[in-house]
Structure 1
Amino acid sequence: MKKLLSMVLCAMMALTLAGCGGSSDDSSTYTYSSELDIKNLDSSDAEDGCSFTALHAIIDGLMKPAKDGTTTYGIAKSSEVSEDGLTHTYKLRDAKWSNGDAVTANDFVYAWQRIFKKKGNYYYMFCDGIANIAGAQELSDKIDAEQDLTDEDLNKLGVKAVDDKTLEITTTTRVSFFDELMSFPCFYPINQKFCEKQGDKYGKSADSILGNGAFVMTNWEPGSVAEFEKNDKFYAAKDVKIDKLVMKLVQEPKVAAQAFEAGETDFAIINSDLVDKYKKDESFKNISEGFLFYIQPNLENSDLANLNVRKALSLAINRKDLCENVLKDGSQAAKGFVPSGLSISPEGKDFRDEAATYTSYDKKAAQAALDEGLKELGKSEITLRLTYGTDESPMDVFATYLQNA
């Protein structure tokens, strides 16, 4: 019997189990346990959730998340959009970097040009299909073609400092979610003078990062701890209720839970192995996080270029079983690339409920699709290799499950 090799095109949204209780005796300090490490505090390069958590603490963008999950003003104090929807003008509040420098519109222009110059991880967010900022797609095309970008090229990006407190952004089409994008770290400002003085060290240590947000990073020991103190120069310092934030890095869930019980930490992420032990505790909470795990087929592989083979691989994965019986952490099987709960219309309808379902489990149909795919390829069997990173804890579980599906 032919072995049905496993691959999933869209897996699940990861929901994290958290214990949160404010157990620390020092109410002026909040201690957060993280299973992951901070990798990078350069907003042009940072790409992981733990680094983003640290960046959110020390830097504000034009916009930022509000308590209720909506988007509110950050460094911007007001904004307006032209009638055709193509020109976004943000007026900046009187805000300062933690060294006392004023935050200016040029800090955004510099940072946005820099992400292309450095070929940062998220420069594609500026391009067509996402932010649609004028000139961004042309810069991206040059990067893809391995062409060097000149200052003249960078100056064609549709972002301009009209004056120190006015930032004007031009898009090629109307983007209804533009304000929400402006809260994402790749759109954060960078103090040019400080950054250039740090050179390649920028964002690699507590001393080489400059913020304008609620906290200042005072200590960062990779793989161990990151410490932050309240920023007295923050424009909304009176609203910051704690004096110190501590992130305990690379803590195993069991260790984090023990620290929580001992009153040494105020927030601890646990895993499915600990759910039964803590699910009746009043501090136990199930929190939806914005993560979607999926497997991307390599279409340069001639076997995976076959539609029926890809269809078979997707149909072979029992996502519901994986979430409920293996992960057991609240994860949900994703029915499409945009998971449930991520996008809600003004009428309150979930995008996933109104869109089609693109994933399902049907082993019989999977075998039929595989048989047809093998026939089209002129082969009796195929062998595929699954490549995955080990920097996020579920990945080894996913890989083992897929291998045995």
Structure 2
Amino acid sequence: MKNKLRRMLKTTETEPKKSPSSTDQERATTAEQAAWLAKGADILTFEEEWIVRLDHRYPLTAQHGHRSFEAVFESLQLPHPPLALDVPLEQIIFFDTETTGLKGTGTTIFLLGFARFEKGELLMRQYFLPHPHYEAALYHHFLLDIGEDVRFVTYNGKSFDWPQIKTRHVFVRERVPRLPKVGHLDLLHVCRRLFKGMYDSYRLTRMEERIGFERTDDLPGFLAPMHYFQYVEHQNPDIMSGVLEHHLHDCLTLVSLYDECNRLVTHRQDASSQIRENIAIWLADLGIHDQSVKHFGQADELTAQGWLRQGMLYKKLRQYEDAKICFEKSGTYEGFIELAKWAEHIAKQPAVAYDYTERAKNMLADHQLLASRRERLVAELDHRSLRLQRKCRR
């Protein structure tokens, strides 16, 4: 696709056609801009360059899937650590891009945009690059609009969209020097945490099932570069209609998906035991212990790993009796190792600790582990058994 774009933009000596005159170019540009203006777009200029900006505004009562934008507006103001964003509401933008490829300095961002709450409504704004050599205008207006300090809410944007912007900005930084202070909430990582073990794929379109949104006649994302190349050749805005709609839905899905995740984390929406367990483990990893305990407590049942992690949480909180119960219910070799530690160091019962150690060794034989890890664990358990035997003889 990159080679195709280069060929389309390159004028070779073998081409019989004469270079268009400046008057012809001006007429073509005027017609192209007029076509965009007829679609309700704005034409933004910067030095000798221009781009297209399209705005859509939605009242808070409007919905994307079964989520109203008013519900998201409320969620954004809840101070819950995993999903809280520490800036005023107007500095939070739900952001996505469309590019000519997946990586590399030759990859061009030809469409970027965001949804943002302002003036009592949701603004959806898109910036389209009509010609690849107009990138300075694209980044000038985009960066001017988002401000000096923003928080992006994206889907895989932390490792792709924003790094790609920084890469492309290098080529125009002499003309557009400023990059804002950026924070990031990547909903891909949030969904993998919340819905672990429940999906075989975490693509954004799969997550749309959770918000009740189904796309109809959607242009697949992998076709977007081809449409852009066709646009560069023909300058017909109709070519980009499907791409623009696909991108718009991507951004609006981020808005509703944020509310879905926030409601689960803040207990404002019923969740399955699996989700409660996943949230509890996530919060424990973040050191938010009180909320982790609450989510564990709301799960009707836990997996073996869930009981183990709850036990580790209680151990950290020095609630040893609660931890003991959880380790027993886990039925794992890790749980029996923890029980052996409890019996030896807390209960001061070396015989009981020895029994737990032997049970851990027996269970370990049935687990598929890396050879190096198995050898290390067996050595540790053998050492523990010998020490406990000596204690029992005293």
Answer with 1 or 2: which has the greater Rg: 2
**Which one scores higher on RCO, CA 8 angstroms, separation ≥ 6?**
1
When normalised by structure 2's length, the TM-score is 0.24
When normalised by structure 1's length, the TM-score is 0.23
User: Higher strand proportion, which one?
Assistant: 1
